[in-house]
Copies of this chain bind each other. A is one copy, B any other.
Amino acid sequence: MPTVSSEELAAAAGVNSAKLRKDFSYLGSYGTRGVGYDVEYLVYQISRELGLTQDWPVVIVGIGNLGAALANYGGFASRGFRVAALIDADPAMAGKPVAGMPVQHTDDLESIIEENGVSIGVIATPAGAAQQVCDRLVAAGVTSILNFAPTVLSVPDGVDVRKVDLSIELQILAFHEQRKAGEEAAGEPGTVLQAPKETGKGPDGDVPAVMPA
């Protein structure tokens, strides 16, 4: 399929075709009137815009189950991420291979970051260690942190943190599940709210806004 129309893409994504065209237009005029978008060219332009064409070395700190799962996760490489090092505070872990890579000790954190030009760090340590690891990462030059530890990290200005809370997604499912259960018993005391407005045919299913009664 060499080209694709905004109509087709919009249908696949479950959004309005005008919105899709307008969004694309913010990236530039990459379509051809009367024809559509050249798939390969479009993919390249979007990839470039998102930073997928760059090489991003990352370090993963805390090689427990989650750290190991992340190290083994195939999705990273295909998006331009390269796991530059696995770091753990446990001396017993040092040298052990995880995902075909020897685990290194926290002592070498600073030098590893500098040598590899790492600007993105992933924290998969227990909650208690997270802030300390974070501080060291930042001091060593890391400016973006993905935090899996159940703590809120404080960082200086200019450093981005994203926190991944694995239970939030479950939370959202449970919220919908609760609504499904409540549908049979509408008007029940305590059921103050209406069902969420379905935003569209989108397969997305985001968190619905709670609507006024």
| Residues of A in contact with B (beta carbons under 8 Å apart) | 23, 25-28, 48-52, 54, 56, 58, 64-66, 68-70, 72-76, 79-81, 119-120, 122, 143-146, 150, 158, 160-162, 164-167, 169-178, 180, 190, 192-193, 205, 210-213
Q: Are A164 and B173 closer than 8 Å at their CB atoms?
A: no
A145's closest neighbor in chain B, by CB? B173
* Contacting pair B175 A169 (CB below 8 A): no
The answer to whether A150 and B70 have CB atoms under 8 Å apart is no
In the bound complex, how far is the Cα of B190 from the Cα of A51, in angstroms? 12
Is there an interface contact between A80 and B210, defined as CB atoms closer than 8 Å? Answer: no
Asked whether B180 lies within 8 Å of A172 as measured between CB atoms, the reply is: no
Provide the main secondary structure of the chain A interface. Answer: mixed
Chain B: CB-nearest residue to A54: B178
Beyond contacts A23-B210, A65-B65, A65-B66: 9 other A-B pairs, Cβ-Cβ < 8 A, are A25-B212, A28-B192, A49-B193, A49-B210, A65-B72, A75-B150, A120-B174, A144-B174, A164-B169
Chain B residues within an 8 Å CB radius of A120: 170, 173-174, 177
Known: A150-B74, A164-B169. A174 touches B54 (CB 8 A): yes
